[in-house]
């Protein structure tokens, strides 16, 4: 008579173990529950426009990631490649990608939608933003730089093409493993997060310097 009871206890123990495992695999940092207001609260802190040459920064990342110097420090001791970015209003977000690709997994579509909702809110509508990609320090350093750029581009493309955010408000750059979010743990998953940074105000459209003169009115023909 004790065997069914013992079997039941074992099954209950197995169920509890599975539930604990599922909880441990849930998205880190509460990213599944972020709201539009969470994003706005982090980004709506504009003080002064930042002068960032995105093209030059991309080139700098590409060149540094190819470094093969014998004296090259390990990832946790490298200086940040763009330390000025740390001064910008920033929201860190965990976007899930397919392994080693820039393909965004469906589980993250809702998160990107909330980012779009925040960027079109009245308080953030006048500003421009930089999408910054990062990669944890695994694999080839040069490949990580390229993949982080492609992932940042992928998020920007969805915001522009799917959610109709103005392209002139968004730029993207991938820093690879050149500016780790957690330098003490270079292989940690947190280093694969993206960052949304408020950069400055949307440039105003300037009127033409010399407006074209109006065409002279035609005089009515004289009657003969």
Does any domain span residue 44? Answer: yes
User: pLDDT tens digits for the chain (224 residues)?
Assistant: 445 544 554 554 544 444 434 433 444 444 558 999 999 999 999 999 999 999 999 999 999 999 888 788 999 999 999 999 999 999 999 999 999 999 999 999 999 999 999 999 999 999 999 999 999 999 899 999 999 999 999 999 999 999 999 999 999 999 999 999 999 999 999 999 999 999 999 988 655 455 555 556 666 656 55
What ranges in the chain are assigned the alpha helix state H?
2-24, 36-43, 54-65, 109-119, 141-161
Does any domain span residue 91? Answer: yes
Does any domain span residue 32? Answer: no
Does any domain span residue 139? Answer: yes
Backbone φ/ψ region at 123: left (φ over 0), alpha (ψ -120 to 50), beta: alpha
We report the CATH number of the domain holding residue 187 as: 3.30.1330.60
Instruction: Please give the structure tokens belonging to residue 4.
Output: 């069914």
Does any domain span residue 181? Answer: yes
pLDDT of 72 reads: 86
Does any domain span residue 20? Answer: no
Question: What are the strands of the beta sheet with 127-133, ordered from one edge?
Answer: 90-93, 194-201, 127-133, 170-174
Does any domain span residue 160? Answer: yes
Overall pTM > 0.85: no
Instruction: Please give the structure tokens belonging to residue 70.
Output: 């014998």
Domain that holds residue 48: 40-66+75-201
pLDDT of 205 reads: 66
Domain count, the chain: 1
Does any domain span residue 23? Answer: no
């Amino acid at each position: 008579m004790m065997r069914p009871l013992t079997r039941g206890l074992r099954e209950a123990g197995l169920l509890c173990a599975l539930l604990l495992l599922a909880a441990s695999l849930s998205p880190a940092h509460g990213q599944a529950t972020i709201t539009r207001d969470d994003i706005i609260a982090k980004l709506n802190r504009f003080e002064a426009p930042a002068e960032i040459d995105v093209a030059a920064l991309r080139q700098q990342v590409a060149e540094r990631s190819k470094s093969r110097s014998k004296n090259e420090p390990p990832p946790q001791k490298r200086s940040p490649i763009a330390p000025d970015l740390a001064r910008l209003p920033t929201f860190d977000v965990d976007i899930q990608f397919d392994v080693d690709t820039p393909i965004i997994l469906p589980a993250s579509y809702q998160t990107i939608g909330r980012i779009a909702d925040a960027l079109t809110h009245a308080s953030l509508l006048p500003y421009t933003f930089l999408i910054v990609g990062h990669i944890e320090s695994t694999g080839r350093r040069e490949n990580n730089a390229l993949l982080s750029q492609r992932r940042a581009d992928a998020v920007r493309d969805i915001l522009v093409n799917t959610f109709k955010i103005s392209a002139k408000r968004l730029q993207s750059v991938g820093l690879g493993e050149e500016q780790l979010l957690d330098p003490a743990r270079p292989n940690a998953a947190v280093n694969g997060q993206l960052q949304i940074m408020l950069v400055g105000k949307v440039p105003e459209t300037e009127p033409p310097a010399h407006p074209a003169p109006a065409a002279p009115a035609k005089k009515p023909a004289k009657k003969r």
